[in-house]
Amino acid sequence: MNREVAIKKLSNPEYDWDIIVIGGGATGLGTAVDAASRGFKTLLLEKHDFAKGTSSRSTKLVHGGVRYLAQGDISLVLEALKERGLMMQNAPHLVQNQKFVIPNYRWWGGPFYTIGLKMYDMMAGKLGLGPSEHISKEEVMKIIPNLVEEDLHGGVVYHDGKFDDSRLAINLAQTIFDHGGYAINYCGVTGLVKDKQGLVTGLHCIDSETGESYIIKAKAIVNATGVFVDSILKMDDPDCKKTVVPSQGIHILLNRDFIKGDTSIMIPNTSDGRVLFAIPWHNKVVVGTTDTLMKEAIEEPLALKEEIDFILNTAADYLAKSPKREDVLSVFAGLRPLAAPEDDDQETKEISRSHKIIISLSGLITIIGGKWTTYRQMGEDSINKAILLAGLPERPCITNSLPIHGFRKNVDFKDHLYVYGSDMNKIQVIISKNPELKQKIHPNLPYIKAEIVWAARTEMARTVEDFLARRTRALFLDAKTSRAMANDVAKIMALELGRDDKWIKDQLKAFSNLSAGYLLSDKEVI
C-alpha cells in the first residue's frame, strides 16, 4: 500500500481502468474490495484520508439494529444480521462479540424486550452470536455495578458485534492492494469526462500533496461519497435533485470508571425516541448517539451544545456516577448519509437505513444510505450493476468468505496491538531493529512509537491527523492526550516521509486547530 507507486499509475492517460470508485469510506472501500477481488482493474480515489468522513465516527456497532426491528424494518435487520456474521467471520481480529444489557425500569419492559430479542436471535440463524435472556435485577447489578438501582426491575441480555471502524477501513484499503487494485488518499475527484453521447468515460482528479491534476479513463465509475454524493451528481448534471440528507450523530468518550465490566448498556426509548448506547471501547466508554438533521454536509462536523447536554443528561438518568462536562475525554460528530425522503416532513430517525443505488443517464453509478455493517453487500450490489452497465465479464462476487487484510483468529483483545491482526508480528520486527520504538508515545494511552513508523511506511498515513485519528484512535479516545502526542508523531513521521521542519510546524498547527473541535474546553492548547 504505497502511495507513490499508486500515484504513478495515474500518469498514463490511456490506461483504461475497469472500475473507479470515488470515496474511501466504508461504502467505497467495500465496493473497491469487491471489484478488485473479482479480478477487475480497480482504482479508489479519496479526497481526504480513508474513513475521514462518517466511517470513522460510528457507534462502533456491527449490528442488525434492535431499533430497526422495533420499527418493523425486517428486511434491513435480516440483511444486517447476516452481514454482522460475515464481518465477524472475515475480520475476526477487529470484530468482537459484545454482550449488551437493556435495563428495565418498567415492570412490563422485561417480557416486551425478551420476546423482541428472541426474534432477533432467530433472524440471525446460524450466524447468531449468543442467545438473549431475561435476567434479574441482582444479575444486572452484578454485571453493571454502576447502574442506578432505584426502580430497576431486571434486564435483558443480548449479543451484537463491536469493532474499530477506521481500522477496518485501513484493512479494507490494504485488501484492495492485496487483490491487485489501487487506492489513493488525498486525491479528490474534481470533474467527470463524457463522450459525445454524454456517457461518462473518465474523470479528473487532483493529488492534493503535489497539486498535480490527472485525467483518467474508466469503463465504470461508482460514486460512493456518502453525504457528498450530490456534489459528484452535480458534476454529471448541474440540475440534479438532492438525493441525500445529512443527519448528525455525536458521541462522547468517558473513562472506564463510568461502566465497570465488559458489558455494554443499551437504553431504549430515550426522551428523543431513539436508543442510547454506552459501550466499553479501547479501555474507555463511548456513549451516543443523537439524530439532528443538518442543512449541509461538511468535512469536520462539530457537536452541538444541545446534543452534548442530551447525552450527558440521559446517561445521568441511568449511571450511578453522573458524567459531567469535565469528564468528557473527547467528543466526535458524524453525518449519516440518509436517502432523502419523498416526504419532507418525515423525521430522520424514521428514514430507512437501507441502501439505494441510482443509475444516472450518463451511466454514473451512485450508492447512498446503508450502514457500516452492510458495507459488503453494498459493494456487491454496486459491482453487479457496474458489470451490467459497462459490459464487463460476469464474474461471481467472492467477498462472502474473503478474509480481510490482517485476518487472524483468537487475538488477545487486551493487547492494544491486536488491531493489526496478522501484521502485529511485523511491528515487532520494527521494534527489534530499533528498540527505542517500543516506548509509549504518551503514558495516558497505550500507543507506541513503532506504530508511527508502521503507519507511515505501510498504511498510507500522510499527516499527524491520519495517525492520531484513524491509524490509532487517540483523538477519539482522549483529545487532550492526543494533542500532547502530536509533536513526537510529527517528528517521527517527518523522518519516515522525508519532510522538513516547516512540514512539522504546519502539521502541528493543523492538528491543534482540528483537535480543538473534539475538546469540550477551549482552554487547552499544545
Q: Which is nearer to ligand FAD, 284 or 483 (CB)?
A: 284
47 near ligand FAD, rule: CB under 6 A: yes
Whole-number Å distance between alpha carbons of 9 and 216:
10
85 contacts ligand FAD (rule: CB under 6 A) = no
- Could you tell me if 252 and 328 are in contact, meaning their C-beta atoms sit under 8 angstroms apart? yes
Q: Which of residues 181-200 bind ligand FAD (CB under 6 A)?
A: 188-189
- The answer to whether residue 60 forms part of the interface with ligand FAD (CB under 6 A) is yes
Distance CA 91, CA 257 (A): 29
Distances in Å between the Cα of 10 and the Cα atoms of 6, 261, 365, 431 are 7, 50, 21, 35
Report, in Å, the least distance between residue 161 CB and ligand FAD: 9
Residue span 226-245 as binding mask against ligand FAD, x where in contact by CB under 6 A, dash where not: xxx-----------------
Assess 93 for contact with ligand FAD (CB under 6 A): no
Instruction: Return all residues near 295 (Cβ < 8 A) that are at least 6 apart.
Output: none
64 vs 81: CA distance, rounded Å: 4
Q: Closest Cα to residue 87, out of 147, 8, 169?
A: 169
Number of residues that bind ligand FAD (CB under 6 A): 38
| Interior angle at CA 202, CA 338 and CA 46, nearest 5 | 50
Q: Does 175 bind ligand FAD (CB under 6 A)?
A: no
Q: Is 77 in the site for ligand FAD (CB under 6 A)?
A: no
Window contacting ligand FAD (CB under 6 A); options: 222-230, 317-325, 457-465, 505-513: 222-230
In which element (H, E) is residue 103 found? strand 96-104
Using the structure block, give the residue that is written with the C-alpha cell 517527518: 494
Residue 406 near ligand FAD by CB under 6 A = no
Minimum CB distance to ligand FAD smaller for 56 or for 114: 56
Closest CA to 86 of 369, 336, 407: 407
Stretch that binds ligand FAD, among 23-31, 71-79, 126-134, 262-270 (CB under 6 A): 23-31
By the rule CB under 6 A, 124 interacts with ligand FAD: no
Q: For the CB of residue 77, give the shortest distance to ligand FAD in the complex, in Å.
A: 12
Task: Give min distance, CB of 275 to ligand FAD, in A.
Answer: 11
Q: How far is the CB of 225 from ligand FAD (least distance, A)?
A: 4
Binding track over 347-386 against ligand FAD, x by CB under 6 A = -----------------------xxxx-------------
DSSP string, 426-466: HHHHHHHH-GGGGSBS-TTS--BHHHHHHHHHHS---SHHI
User: Applying CB under 6 A, which part among 13-21, 44-52, 115-123, 144-152 lies near ligand FAD?
Assistant: 44-52
Residues 6 or more apart whose CB falls under 8 angstroms from that of 398 comprise 37, 38
Q: Does 46 bind ligand FAD (CB under 6 A)?
A: yes
Residues contacting residue 474 through CB under 8 Å, at least 6 positions apart = 445, 447, 468, 481, 482, 485
Which is closer to ligand FAD, CB of 220 or CB of 485? 220
Rounded distance, CA 479 to CA 485, Å?
10
How distant, in Å, are the alpha carbons of 24, 131, 289, 379, 465 from that of 267? 32, 19, 11, 32, 33
Query: Which one of 171, 263, 289, 507 is in contact with ligand FAD (CB under 6 A)?
Result: 289
**Which residue of this chain has its Cβ atom nearest to ligand FAD in the complex?**
25
Alpha-carbon distance of 7 to 167, in angstroms, equals 23
- For position 285 contacting ligand FAD by CB under 6 A, the verdict is no
Contacts (Cβ under 8 Å, ≥6 apart) of 252: 286, 287, 288, 308, 311, 312, 323, 328, 329, 330, 331
Of the candidate spans 20-28, 117-125, 129-137, 514-522, the one that interacts with ligand FAD by CB under 6 A turns out to be 20-28
Taking CB under 6 A as the rule, does residue 292 contact ligand FAD? no
Does 246 interact with ligand FAD (rule: CB under 6 A)?
no
- Least separation, in Å, of the C-beta of 483 and ligand FAD? 23
Minimum gap (Å) between residue 174 Cβ and ligand FAD: 17
Nearer to ligand FAD, 333 or 448 (CB): 333
The interface region with ligand FAD, picked from 262-270, 330-338, 461-469, 504-512 by CB under 6 A, is: 330-338
- Considering only 3, 38, 41, 52, the residue that binds ligand FAD (CB under 6 A) is 52
CA distance 357 to 362: 14
In order of 274, 311, 338, 521, the CA distances from 317 in angstroms are: 15, 10, 30, 24
By C-alpha distance, which of 385, 402, 358 is closest to 19?
385
Q: How far is the CB of 266 from ligand FAD (least distance, A)?
A: 12
Spatial contact of 57 and 403, defined as CB atoms under 8 Å apart: no
- The yes or no reply on residue 301 touching ligand FAD (CB under 6 A) is no
Binding mask 407-436 for ligand FAD (x = CB under 6 A): ------------------------------
Binding site for ligand FAD (CB under 6 A): 22-28, 45-48, 52-55, 57-61, 63, 188-189, 224-228, 249, 289, 334-337, 370-373
